[in-house]
Amino acid sequence: MAFDIEMIKAVYGNYPTRIAAARKAVGRPLTLTEKILYAHLTQGAATEAYQRGGSYVDFNPDRVAMQDATAQMALLQFMQAGRDKVAVPSTVHCDHLIQAEIGADADLQKAKDKNREVYDFLASVSNKYGIGFWKPGAGIIHQVVLENYAFPGGMMIGTDSHTPNAGGLGMIAIGVGGADACDVMAGLPWELKFPKLIGVRLTGRLSGWTSAKDVILKVAGILTVKGGTGAVVEYFGEGARSLSATGKGTICNMGAEIGATTSIFGYDEKSEAYLRGTDRAEIAEMANSIKEHLTGDAEVYANPEKYFDQVIDINLSELEPHINGPFTPDLAWPLSKFAQAVKENGWPAKLEVGLIGSCTNSSYEDISRAASLAQQAVDKKLIAKSEYTITPGSEQVRFTVERDGFLGVFEKMGGVVLANACGPCIGQWARHGAEKQEKNSIITSFNRNFAKRADGNPNTHAFVASPEIVTAMAISGDLTFNPVTDTLINEEGKAVKLDEPKGLELPTKGFAVEDAGYQAPASDGSKVQVIVDPKSDRLQLLAPFPAWEGTDLKGLKLLIKAKGKCTTDHISMAGPWLRFRGHLDNISNNMLIGAVNAYNGETNKVKNQLGGGYGEVPAVQRQYKAHGIGSIVVGDENYGEGSSREHAAMEPRFLGVRAILVKSFARIHETNLKKQGMLALTFANPADYDLIQEDDSIDILGLTDFAPGKPLTVVLHHADGSKNEIKVNHTYNEGQIGWFRAGSALNLIKASI
C-alpha cells in the first residue's frame, strides 16, 4: 500500500541531531511527545524551548489522512491551491457514508449506488493529485492507517477526531479540519499550540476479562470529557510495554473522548511485532536503529512528576473491566458496580443490541477474544438473547478473521457481520423501530455514546465497553449480568458460566487479504480529469473568493447579534447537513441557523434591513448578497468553539458576510476565518457589544493601514441617526493580513506558484 519508505528514512535521519538540539534547548531530559514534536519543527533543529500550553509552533507533519465526509471540502479546497501533487503522502478512506442495515454486502452495494458521485469525485481527485484512495469497503480510516501507514516517531494529521489511534504505534497523530489538511497537502506548515503533557504510568499486567479498552475507560472516568484538553497523554511503564500495539491503538483512539490533543505510546517489542506482522519489517529495522529516540528518556519515566504536568497511575493487575455511560463516555463503572448502577438509575436492564468492532476495537486480538466467547455460547448451548453485530475495521482484518473461522462462530451465535465501515458508530444505522424513540439499552465497543449518536433515538441508552464484555452481555441479554461472577441458564436448563476470553494478538498464519481495496494514484496525474456535475446537489467546485477591494468597508448591515454560546454546530449544523459537506452553496443554507438572536431570543429569525420584517438567517443574507451589500455578524464569548469544521468559516464568507466581531474567539475558528479571507475582530472593550443595535449600518475603518497589533475602528450608524465609534482588536500577523488582502489563504498560495 505504498508506505513511503523514503519519507520515513528522511524523518529518522533527522532524529539524532534534532533530539540533541531539543535537549539542549529545553535543558533537561525529554518525553517522547517532546521528541517527536521537536523533531518535526518547520524551522528544523530547535533553537528555543517552547512553553507548554502557551507557544504556537509551526510543524511539518509527515502524512495526511482524510475520511470521505471531511475529504470532500478538504480536496475541493486543495484543487484551488494550484498544486500538481500533494506535498506529503496523503490518503482518502471511504468509510463514513455506508449505512448499516442488512449486512456487509447489501449495505456496501447500496452505499456505492447512493454515493456514487462522491466516491467517483474522491477517486478522481486522489488519482490526479497523487493521493492513495481506499475504496468503500476497504475499511475504517484509523484501522487502515494503523495497519499500513502509522510509524513510530512520525507525525500525522487526519480530518477525523479519532486520528490519535495511530499513537498506538508511537505516532503523534492529531485530528484537524479540512482547511488544515489542505494547507499541509499544499506544503505549508501546520500550527499547533505546544501541548501540555499528561503522563499515565501503567504497572502490572492485564488478565482475565480485562482488556486495553478498560484502561481508557478508567482514564476517561478520572479525567472526564474535558480533562485532556490541550494536552498529549503519554503512556509508559512496564504495563504499557505489555500491551499489544492494537490495544495501545484502542487507548489512543479513545483519548479523543477526554479532549486530548492526542495520546501516544513509545516504541517497544510489541510495536516491532506489529510492524513485522503487517508486512513492514523494513520499518521495524529502521526503528530499531534509532530506538532510544522513539521513547521518552529513562529519567523522565523514573521521575514523571518532574516532567509531566499531571501524572496518573494505573495498575493493570488490579484493573477491573469497565462499562461507561449512558450518554457520556466518562461515566465510568467498574463491572462489579454496574448492575447496581443500572438498577438504581432505572436504565433499561434488557439489552437490545451488542455491537462490536469500529475503528476503536476491531483488531485481530479483539475479534479473536470476542469469538472465544461466542464459541463458548455455541458449545454451552446458550442462545444469545440480544441482537449482535460485528463491524470489522478493515478488509485485511475481515478476510483474516473469516479465514480463521471467527466470523463463522459469530454467525452461529446469531451475529450479523456489517461492512468494514463506520456504520452505527456515526449514526449510519437504519435501526428498525428507532423512530419510535423507545427507551432502550445498547452496548458497543465503540468510543462515543452521546445521545442519538448510534441510531438517532434520544432514548437509546448507549454504553461503551470492551468487545469481550459486549459479547458476554449480548449472550446474556441483561445489563445486570456480570460474566466474572454470574451464571446463565442454557437451552437444557443448566446453569453455565462463561470462561475468561482468550485470543491472539496477531494471527499465527499471518494476515491475508485478496483485495485490500486500495487504489494507487497515477504517477502523472496531469491528464486526469476531475468531473463534478454542475447539477449535482452534493458536490460543487469552489470558485476563489474575491480579493479585498482595497478600501475600508462601509455600510455593512448587521446580520445577527448572537447571544451566548455559538459553537461551530450553531454556525454550521451537522446531522442531515452532512450530505452537503461537498456543496458550499447548499450547505450554506444552514448558516447560523442555530445561533440565538440577541434581540428576540429566537433562532434563525433575524431582521431583514432591506425590507423590514424578519426572515431566516441564510435567506436574509442571500438578499444582502443579491444587492451587493456586505454584512457583519456579532457574537459573544468563545465564538466558534467546538469542531475544527471549516464550513463554519466558509459559509459566511461565501454568502457575503465581511466580518465577525465578537467578545472572544475559539482559536481554531478564528484561524479558519482568517484563512477564508474574513475579518475576525474582537471588541477592545467587551461592553461595546451592548452598543450594537438591531438595524445598525456599520463601517470598518483602518483597513488600508491594516497592520499587526494595530486596532481598527468600527462606526455604528444607528437607525435614529446617532452613531458610536469603537475600537476593535485583531490578531492578524503579516502573513495573515496577506490572506485577507488576497481574499483567502488559498488565493495567496496559488499566487505564489
Shortest approach of ligand F3S to residue 723 CB, angstroms? Answer: 51
| Cβ neighbours, 10 Å, residue 556 | 23
Dmax over CA atoms of the chain, in Å, equals 88
Cα distance between residue 332 and residue 216, in whole Å: 10
Question: Quick check: is 293 catalytic?
Answer: no
Cα distance between residue 526 and residue 743, in whole Å: 27
Q: Which residues pair with 556 in a beta bridge?
A: 698
Shortest approach of ligand F3S to residue 281 CB, angstroms? Answer: 28
Shortest approach of ligand F3S to residue 141 CB, angstroms? Answer: 5
Per the CB < 8 A criterion, the answer to whether 156 and 52 are in contact is no
Query: Is 171 or 186 the residue whose CB approaches ligand F3S more closely?
Result: 171
Interface size with ligand F3S, residues (CB under 6 A): 13
H or E element that contains 716: strand 712-717
Compute the 3-state secondary structure of the chain and give helix, strand, coil in percent, each to the nearest 5: 35, 20, 40
Burial class (CB in 10 A: 0-12, 13-18, 19+), 153: buried
Shortest approach of ligand F3S to residue 732 CB, angstroms? Answer: 35
Which residues lie closer than 8 Å to 286 by C-beta, 6 or more apart?
A: 8, 9, 12
All three cell numbers of 633, joined, read: 455578524
Q: Helices then strands (H, E): number in the chain?
A: 26, 30
Question: Quick check: is 241 catalytic?
Answer: no
Query: Is 141 or 397 the residue whose CB approaches ligand F3S more closely?
Result: 141
The mark string for 128-157 relative to ligand F3S (x by CB under 6 A, - otherwise) is: ------------xxx---------------
The one catalytic residue in 448, 453, 647, 658 is: 448
| Using rule CB under 6 A, residue 160 touches ligand F3S | yes
Shortest approach of ligand F3S to residue 397 CB, angstroms? Answer: 13
| Helix ranges, 467-615 (H) | 467-476, 568-571, 584-587
Closest by CA to 272, choosing from 288, 295, 252, is: 288
Query: Is 8 or 401 the residue whose CB approaches ligand F3S more closely?
Result: 401
All three cell numbers of 464, joined, read: 461503551
Query: Is 358 or 736 the residue whose CB approaches ligand F3S more closely?
Result: 358
Query: Is 141 or 443 the residue whose CB approaches ligand F3S more closely?
Result: 141
The one catalytic residue in 63, 96, 581, 669 is: 96
Shortest approach of ligand F3S to residue 75 CB, angstroms? Answer: 18
Query: Is 361 or 671 the residue whose CB approaches ligand F3S more closely?
Result: 361
- Interior/surface letters 655-690, b for 16+ CB within 10 angstroms, e for the rest: bbbbbbbbbbbbebbbbbbbbbbbbbbbbeeeebbe
Shortest approach of ligand F3S to residue 656 CB, angstroms? Answer: 34
Query: Is 97 or 617 the residue whose CB approaches ligand F3S more closely?
Result: 97
Which residues lie closer than 8 Å to 150 by C-beta, 6 or more apart?
A: 156, 166, 168, 169, 170, 171, 173
Question: Quick check: is 448 catalytic?
Answer: yes
Query: Is 460 or 631 the residue whose CB approaches ligand F3S more closely?
Result: 460
Query: Is 128 or 453 the residue whose CB approaches ligand F3S more closely?
Result: 453
Q: What is the sign, positive or negative, of the torsion defined by CA atoms of 443, 444, 450, 455?
A: negative
Cα distance between residue 300 and residue 308, in whole Å: 8
Cα distance between residue 603 and residue 617, in whole Å: 9
Inter-CA distances, 115 with 106, 536, 572, 703, Å: 14, 12, 22, 44
- Interior/surface letters 396-426, b for 16+ CB within 10 angstroms, e for the rest: bbbbbbeebebbbbbeebbbbbbbbbbbbbb
Residue numbers 524-563 binding ligand F3S by CB under 6 A? none
Query: Is 139 or 640 the residue whose CB approaches ligand F3S more closely?
Result: 139
The one catalytic residue in 68, 95, 330, 688 is: 95
Residue numbers 636-695 binding ligand F3S by CB under 6 A? none
All three cell numbers of 737, joined, read: 493580513
User: How many degrees, rounded to 5, is the angle at CA 483 between CA 477 and CA 488?
Assistant: 60
Name the residue with cell 498560495.
749
Q: Which residues pair with 596 in a beta bridge?
A: 603
Query: Is 444 or 482 the residue whose CB approaches ligand F3S more closely?
Result: 444
The mark string for 39-78 relative to ligand F3S (x by CB under 6 A, - otherwise) is: ----------------------------------------
The one catalytic residue in 372, 643, 644, 744 is: 643
The mark string for 397-436 relative to ligand F3S (x by CB under 6 A, - otherwise) is: -------------------------x--xx----------
Shortest approach of ligand F3S to residue 424 CB, angstroms? Answer: 9
Shortest approach of ligand F3S to residue 160 CB, angstroms? Answer: 5
- Torsion, CA 618, CA 623, CA 626, CA 631, rounded to 10: -70
Which phi and psi angles does 191 have, rounded to 5°?
Answer: -95, 135
The one catalytic residue in 62, 68, 107, 160 is: 160
Residue numbers 585-604 binding ligand F3S by CB under 6 A? none
Shortest approach of ligand F3S to residue 152 CB, angstroms? Answer: 22
Residue from the set 99, 361, 375, 447 that interacts with ligand F3S by CB under 6 A:
447
Question: Quick check: is 453 catalytic?
Answer: no
Shortest approach of ligand F3S to residue 167 CB, angstroms? Answer: 14
Residue from the set 244, 271, 358, 744 that interacts with ligand F3S by CB under 6 A:
358
Shortest approach of ligand F3S to residue 399 CB, angstroms? Answer: 19
Residue numbers 86-105 binding ligand F3S by CB under 6 A? 95
All three cell numbers of 439, joined, read: 427507551
Query: Is 582 or 635 the residue whose CB approaches ligand F3S more closely?
Result: 582
Question: Quick check: is 645 catalytic?
Answer: yes
All three cell numbers of 257, joined, read: 473522548
Per the CB < 8 A criterion, the answer to whether 675 and 179 are in contact is yes
Cα distance between residue 244 and residue 368, in whole Å: 14
The one catalytic residue in 241, 583, 645, 669 is: 645
| Helix ranges, 392-548 (H) | 395-403, 406-412, 467-476
Name the residue with cell 498529549.
232
Name the residue with cell 444552514.
590
Cα distance between residue 376 and residue 364, in whole Å: 18
Q: Active-site residue numbers?
A: 95-96, 160, 448, 643, 645
Residues lying near ligand F3S in the complex (CB under 6 A) are found at: 95, 140-142, 160, 162, 358-359, 422, 425-426, 446-447
